[in-house]
Structure 1
Amino acid sequence: MVNQIWHAMSMSLYMLWSIFWGLSLGFLFSAIIEVAISKNQMSKLLPDSRVTSLLKAMSLGAISSSCSYAAVAMARSIVRKGGDFVSAMVFQLAATNLVLELMILMWLLLSWQFAVAEFVGSFIMVAIIVALFHTFPGKGLKKQAIHHAESDVSGPMDGHAAMSMGQREGGWKERLLSPKGWTAISHYFVMNWSMLWKDIGVGLLIAGMLGAWVPKDFWSSLFLLGHPTLAVVWGILLGPLIAIISFTCSIGNIPLAVILWHSGLSFGGVAAFIFADLIIPPIINIYRKYYGAKMAAYLFAIFYIAMVGAGALVQIIFSLLGMIPQQRDMSITQVNFELNYTAVLNIIFFLISLILIVVFLKSGGPAMMKMMNKPNNKQQHGETHHHG
């Protein structure tokens, strides 16, 4: 029993070792972008759901935090400030699927094909979601949701959303080159880790336990591997459902995706699993609080359809192009600590992280985070701490 527990733990630790530098790089890049680019005018940039607005929403989402909860809170803030509801939903989808740290993790733990599939699939999901929004829901449902969004009900990341969408002083060069700018970068860097460490930790632990304890026969039966064609279709339908059960979101589900892929889940099924972080139960409950029960149910339905549709099209496109990986390499789950480029990069980014944490602690970062965790009405409307 002790050996089994150690096997699972060591597998989880090795996966963390393999991705630490990539995570840190992604979080640092996200922090720099947060300071350099002001989002206080975001709602004005997204007045409708035309193609130009949708592309802006995707671009803004791609340079935002990868935390699903923060993305959902920021989307609500866009709606409250007069931005288009559909564009706000597209923004939160991009914020959880197109961010750099997610792409790096997929490249490191899975393969470059999955990173490309994530990029392509995001555009497919947006197209499906927009089409469904324009086809099925009446204007009354959206009006009810927008009205409900104006309530004072708070979510877990409203403080972060208010801070991200607050005003910035000076130009982007001034912000990045000034001491205040790098203080702000340290704050955002630590916030990224603080928002996501639980999801990352849970994802790694579950991946380690599944990889160490679940026999191959179970996965073979669950994924219907004895029926290749049916397994592809079933895998795409099953992927989002596994995500819902796992409760992990954002980049926290990438370690689980590794186990699912190496255990036989289809390429499109793994893609659909990764897409599905916006329909896990805690997120759906936040939709209910923000937009009402009817819109929460509707968002669950159209997001699931979009994720399955994107998974299916990614499977077809990559199959036709011969881009689906043929090898399900398990080396990432084989514990093998050694001095290589991963070790060197981990040491470099550990030192960078340590410096940023020290700056964060010496510049009032903990007090700022406590303030963010107690959102009031002013914060929810965007009047919050401004970084220079």
Structure 2
Amino acid sequence: GWQFALAEFVGGVIMIVALALVLPRVIPGRDAEDARARLNSGQREADGHAHHGQPGDDLDGDDPGERRPLAERIRSRAGWSDAASYTISDLTMLRKELLIGFLVAGFATVLVPTGVWQSLFLTGHGFWSALENVALGPLLAILAFVCSIGNVPLAAALWVGGISFGGVISFVFADLITLPLLLIYRKYYGTRLTLRLLAVFWAVMSIAGLATEYLFAAVHLVPTGHPQTVAMEGVTWDYTTILNIIALAVFAVLYWLYRNRERFGGGTGYAHDLVCGMQVETAAAPAKAVHDGIQFFFLLRPLPGPFHHRPAPLHHGGEP
């Protein structure tokens, strides 16, 4: 429902403020500098490969493009088509997460007995029930392996299972600490710093979920009761149907702009990151590489390892 969508914005603000206050006190400046040095050493190693004719060598040394002013992009069809391309690229990147999320949510709803969920999520103990639910949400997110927006269908399944309103919010926020991402953090920042990040994120997400639940309860916006199923039993004409129609119309326009990007003069100064599939602005790309005379751009710094070790499979579809 719309209450959950609004709660994500409210809880997000709370979480950002809490992180700004807590992170500098939990992660000392020396640890942050060590992590930054580790990242920079990885970039220097990648650059060292480039000097020997490997991917990363900039053949001409020219700037791949310049950023156009925001006002100019807003007034042009090319700018809107580029924005639409960002949307389609993001959806393409997220399609696996969405599919996995719906599958996991379906299995969790059908295969896990209601009694199991009810035994996990305490009720009837006031503050302590709310605290247990918001603390348990991130733990379930870690075990779920589902990243990004793919955890939303699973959150709906947990809501059916009896988790509290704040527990849903903390669970959705916890897509930042799912197990695959924790392994990536460990690779970049080391075990000690990753454990600190995990503790901070867990605490802040739980606090944000708890605070959001109490704020919404104070103004009577917490949904009453839990549905028996995740999916609707039939099509009904309500605000959800209207919003779905509007969303489909907006998506149709975005897809049309994306398909006609070249006709509108879009695409200049943009490329696709072949590792994650997202669109990247070449003038602001954190990392780039050249292989067989074709330049590639990446959103991740240092350069992704798979490109250096296996450039051939990633070669197809590169932006010249």
The two structures have a TM-score, normalised by structure 1, of 0.58
- Name which of 369, 372, 381 aligns with 2:272: 369
> Does 1:128 pair with 2:26?
no
Q: Which residue of 1 aligns with 2:30?
A: 140
- Name which of 316, 335, 341 aligns with 2:242: 341
Higher relative helix content: 1
310 and 369 in structure 1: CA distance in 2 versus 1, 3 angstrom threshold: same
- Name which of 314, 318, 324 aligns with 2:212: 314
Contact kept, 8 Å, 2:81 with 2:258, in 1: the verdict is: no
Structure 1 residue runs without a partner (length 5+):
1-110, 155-165
Contact kept, 8 Å, 2:170 with 2:208, in 1: the verdict is: yes
346 and 289 in structure 1: CA distance in 2 versus 1, 3 angstrom threshold: same
- Name which of 191, 199, 217 aligns with 1:301: 199
Contact kept, 8 Å, 2:121 with 2:129, in 1: the verdict is: yes
What is the correspondence of 1:78-227 to structure 2 with a 5 Å cutoff? 111-152=1-42, 168-225=66-123
**1:256 deviation in Å?**
1.3
147 and 271 in structure 1: CA distance in 2 versus 1, 3 angstrom threshold: same
**1:186 deviation in Å?**
3.5
Q: Which residue of 2 aligns with 1:56?
A: none
Q: Which residue of 1 aligns with 2:302?
A: none
Structure 2 residue runs without a partner (length 5+):
46-63, 290-295, 299-320
* 3-state SS of paired residue (1:151): helix
Q: 2 CA distance for matches of 1:237 and 1:373?
A: 31
**1:263 deviation in Å?**
1.7
253 and 360 in structure 1: CA distance in 2 versus 1, 3 angstrom threshold: farther
Any idea what the Cα deviations from partners look like across 1:178-205, whole Å, max 9, x if unmatched? Answer: 3432442242122111121111111112
**1:287 deviation in Å?**
1.8
Contact kept, 8 Å, 1:211 with 1:333, in 2: the verdict is: no
> Does 1:237 pair with 2:135?
yes
Any idea what the Cα deviations from partners look like across 1:316-335, whole Å, max 9, x if unmatched? Answer: 33333333221324575134
Q: 2 CA distance for matches of 1:208 and 1:361?
A: 40
Q: 2 CA distance for matches of 1:178 and 1:361?
A: 13
116 and 168 in structure 1: CA distance in 2 versus 1, 3 angstrom threshold: farther
**Count of residues in correspondence between the two structures:** 263
Higher relative strand content: 2
Q: 2 CA distance for matches of 1:360 and 1:113?
A: 36
370 and 381 in structure 1: CA distance in 2 versus 1, 3 angstrom threshold: closer
Contact kept, 8 Å, 2:159 with 2:226, in 1: the verdict is: yes
| Structure 1: 4+ residue segments shifted above 6 A | 361-365, 382-386
225 and 167 in structure 1: CA distance in 2 versus 1, 3 angstrom threshold: farther
Structure of larger gyration radius: 2
Contact kept, 8 Å, 1:318 with 1:324, in 2: the verdict is: yes
Contact kept, 8 Å, 2:84 with 2:255, in 1: the verdict is: no
Q: Which residue of 2 aligns with 1:280?
A: 178
120 and 382 in structure 1: CA distance in 2 versus 1, 3 angstrom threshold: farther
Q: 2 CA distance for matches of 1:182 and 1:129?
A: 34
Q: 1 CA distance for matches of 2:273 and 2:208?
A: 39
Instruction: Give the counterpart letter for 2:12 in structure 1.
Output: S
Q: Which residue of 1 aligns with 2:144?
A: 246
**1:217 deviation in Å?**
1.5
> Does 1:289 pair with 2:187?
yes
Q: 2 CA distance for matches of 1:121 and 1:347?
A: 27
Q: 1 CA distance for matches of 2:155 and 2:171?
A: 7
Q: 1 CA distance for matches of 2:200 and 2:217?
A: 25
RMSD, aligned CA: 3.6
Contact kept, 8 Å, 1:248 with 1:280, in 2: the verdict is: yes
Contact kept, 8 Å, 2:19 with 2:204, in 1: the verdict is: yes
Instruction: Give the counterpart letter for 1:239 in structure 2.
Output: G
251 and 344 in structure 1: CA distance in 2 versus 1, 3 angstrom threshold: same
Contact kept, 8 Å, 2:147 with 2:176, in 1: the verdict is: yes
371 and 331 in structure 1: CA distance in 2 versus 1, 3 angstrom threshold: closer
Q: Which residue of 2 aligns with 1:79?
A: none
Contact kept, 8 Å, 1:279 with 1:303, in 2: the verdict is: yes
**1:278 deviation in Å?**
0.8
Contact kept, 8 Å, 2:11 with 2:208, in 1: the verdict is: yes
167 and 151 in structure 1: CA distance in 2 versus 1, 3 angstrom threshold: farther
